[in-house]
Amino acid sequence: MSSMSSALHFKSINYTGQGSGPRLIVTGAVHGNETCGTKGIHRVMAELDSGALSIVAGSVTFVPITNPLAYAKGVRSGDRNLNRNLFPNDNPQDFEDRIANWLCPLLGQHDVLLDLHSFNADSQPFVMVGPRNNDGPLQPFKHEDKERALARRLGVRRFVDGWLHAYGQGVQRRLGNSDQVGLVLRYGVGTTEYMRSTGGYALTLECGQHADPAAPDVAYRAIMNTLAFLGFIDAPQPQAIADADMEALNMVVVHDKLHADDRFIKTWSSFDKVQQGEQIGVRADGTPVTAEFDAYILFPDVNAQANAEWYYLARVASSF
C-alpha cells in the first residue's frame, strides 16, 4: 500500500429527522476527477449546518468523496475503477477493494442511492436507470416505479436504461459457456447495481462535462429535488418531467474491440446519432464496422483494449 493511500480514511455524514421516512444515501467522487457531486453535496450540507435547511423526516447520508485516493490525485481511479466489481472482499487487493469493504455495508443500510457523476464529452446531463421489474438471474428488481418516478424529478430530460443487460450480452458472447461468465458479470456491478442487489433502488446522475461550471448546480438541484420528493425536507413537490419533454434511450448492444488496431473513423461522443449502415469504425483487417440500426452511440472508448467493450448502441425507448 502506498504511503499516500495508507494515510486516507473514509467519511460519511448523516442527518436524521424526527419523523419516520426512507433512508437515502448520496455519493460524490466515486471517480476522483468527477467533482460536481462533491460540490453539490457540500452546498446542501452547508445549508443544513447553517439551519437554512432542515431534515424533518427520514435519514440522509452524504458521502462527498467516495474515493479519496482518486480525488486527492485528481484522476478517475486510484488503483482501479471503483464502479466495477463492487463487492466486499475478505482479501482486499487494492485501495478500491478497501473502499468497497466500507461502502457496500453502508449502501446496504439505505433504501435509495443517488450517485453523482460527470463525463468527458460536451453533452447534456442524463440519468442512468435500472431494469424493469423482473425476477431474472442477471438483475432481479422490484422498484421500477419508485426508481423511475424519482428519475423524472431530478431536473434533467435525458434517460438511459439497459446498461447491465447490454453489458451482460457482451460478456456471454465473449466467453460462451465458460465458467468465467459469472465472474465477469460481477465486474459489471457498480454502486447502483450493488444497491439494487440489497433490495434498494438507485440512480446514477451524469451532471455534465467534468469542468462545466453548471454541473455542480445540476447536482445540487437533483439532491434538493430528491429531498423534497421523498419528504425529507418541508418543500414543494418537484414536478415530474412530461413524456413529451423526455428523451428516453435503451442500450441495446455492446460492440467489442477485437484487435488492438481496430479504430474509429472519427472522434465519436456519447449520444452522437448514426444511421443504419453508417460506418463507425474499421477493423484491423480493413473490414468496415457499421451501425446495424438507426442508433445513438454511447460510451465510445478509443483506448479500449482488444477483446473489451468498444462502444454501445442505444435506440429510442418505446416507453419510460
* Model confidence, pTM: 0.94
81-129 pLDDT per residue, tens? 999 889 999 999 999 999 999 999 999 999 999 999 999 888 899 999 9
Give start-end residues of each CATH 3.40.630.10 domain in the chain.
3-245
The three three-digit cell numbers of residue 38, written as one number: 462533491
Fold type of domain 250-316: OB fold (Dihydrolipoamide Acetyltransferase, E2P) (2.40.50)
Per CATH, domain 3-245 is 3.40.605.10: no
Spatial CB neighbours of 46, under 8 Å, sequence gap ≥ 6: none
Q: What is the mean pLDDT of the chain?
A: 94
Question: Over pLDDT 90: what percentage of the chain?
Answer: 82
CA-based nearest residue to 110, from 26, 42, 37, 30: 26
* Dihedral pair phi/psi, residue 7, rounded to 5°: -90, -5
* CB 52 within 8 Å of CB 88: no
The three three-digit cell numbers of residue 226, written as one number: 430528491
Give start-end residues of each CATH 2.40.50.100 domain in the chain.
250-316
CA-based nearest residue to 197, from 276, 110, 262, 275: 110
CA-based nearest residue to 105, from 16, 21, 12: 12
Spatial CB neighbours of 126, under 8 Å, sequence gap ≥ 6: 156, 158, 159, 160, 205, 206, 271
205-255 pLDDT per residue, tens? 999 999 999 999 999 999 999 999 999 999 999 999 999 999 999 999 999
